[in-house]
Amino acid sequence: MTTTAEDQGSVPARSRDPNSYLLLLRFALLNIIAVALLVLGLTNGLVQQAFESDETHFVLVIVLVFIVGFGLVLWRVIWTSQELNCARDFDPARPSRAARYLARASGKDAQSRQTLASTLRLELSQNITLIKHLGSSLVFLGLIGTVIGFIIALSGVDPDMAGDAENIGPMVSTLISGMSTALVTTLVGGVLNIWLMANYQLLTTGTARLISAIVELGEHRAGA
């Protein structure tokens, strides 16, 4: 009598699906491209110039907000990928969001299961809302930096002293410094917003797939 792979206690073939960590692979590909562009900017001195041009250090604030947002994205992508695998290769003995959902949906009627599905959708969607807010804040921080830059630029302009040749140099220097801050903060905020929101959209897609996988599993078990 021949034994199959499942009889021998080996992992079922579906758990070795190459698409098991597709979300992580997409995340890695997206950010490899982004990091490559960042390295290109470092090589050309553009990144260093952005920091040096901002005397207010507002660019650093924008970068720190981005790092917090990116860290949250990384954590949620890893968690979502793991939960997707748990839903696709469901094991009742393994703690997972799918197992919690099935435990709550067990013995419920269709209307109750629909309510649970809506609650699940709301909970998982709210868990990534903070990332969206952080992405939006990058643009607003860039605009605030723009305003600060214009204030600095205009603060160095004194109409009463504009006719004095000795004062023109310092005024022009302050004007250039302020304009540099304004333009650099706007650029950095916009670029990092695009980077973070691209990851957010990727995570949103993964979250939607997780919700669908869990709900479909629950309906399948209910109809079995």
pLDDT at 155: 75
Between residues 189 and 88, the one the model is more confident about: 189
Report whether pLDDT(184) > 70: yes
pLDDT at 8: 38
Q: Decide: helix, strand or coil at residue 222.
A: helix
Q: Tell me the one-letter amino acid at 116.
A: L
| Residue listed under structure tokens 């990092």 | 192
Alpha helices (H) along 54-164 = 58-88, 97-105, 110-126, 129-155
The model's confidence at residue 3, banded by pLDDT at 50, 70 and 90, is very low
- For the segment 12-41, the average pLDDT, to the nearest whole number, is 80
Report whether pLDDT(1) > 50: no
pLDDT at 159: 58
Write the DSSP symbol of residue 10: P
What residues contact residue 132 under an 8 Å CB cut-off, 6+ apart?
A: 197, 200
What is the rounded distance in angstroms from the CA atom of residue 206 to the CA atom of residue 218?
Answer: 18
pLDDT in tens, 145-175: 999 888 887 776 655 555 565 656 666 677 7
- For the segment 109-119, the average pLDDT, to the nearest whole number, is 91
Report whether pLDDT(177) > 70: yes
pLDDT in tens, 46-75: 888 888 888 888 999 999 999 999 999 999
Between residues 102 and 165, the one the model is more confident about: 102
- For the segment 102-125, the average pLDDT, to the nearest whole number, is 90
Between residues 96 and 2, the one the model is more confident about: 96
